[in-house]
Amino acid sequence: MAKLNILKEGDETLRKICRPVDKITLRTKILLDDMVETMRKADGVGLAAPQVGILRRIVVIEVEEGQVLELINPVIVEASGEVSGVEGCLSVPGRQGIVKRPSYVRVQALDRHGVMQTYEGTDLLARCFCHELDHLDGHLYIDKADKMIYPDADGEYYEDEE
């Protein structure tokens, strides 16, 4: 497995809409494995294919260690509630924002074997579903943030004055 390069804010690839995966191949499975390795090495909890330059509807999420969700052609089929929380992104290093997201989300997606799965999440998992699926449509969390916050040298946060 190879560690992939994570694209940063400003790269036009992050603003493009991804195409569905028509057929799950060995290449798709290798990409899933490489995305998980890349996400873990970057200390992330989610990674979408466009973040590594691949314009396909593929996402990996690992909110709980060892419980990786591999989502191919994911779709949010239900969302409810609303909660504001701190959000960051591997493609937007050094900044975080306060973003409103649903408190509950249900997603349907193919797994690496082409079997349709349904996943439900609350709290951080619900936030990750929304955040990563936004990437597939060219959206970054900074587009939805109510305000941005930045860490200082002591690990404390201060607000954006814009």
| Catalytic site positions | 132
Residues 54, 36: Cα–Cα separation, whole Å: 14
The rounded distance, in Å, linking the Cα atoms of 130 and 151 is 24
DSSP string, 102-156: -SEEEEEEE-TTS-EEEEEEEHHHHHHHHHHHHHHTT--GGGT-SEEEEE-TTS-
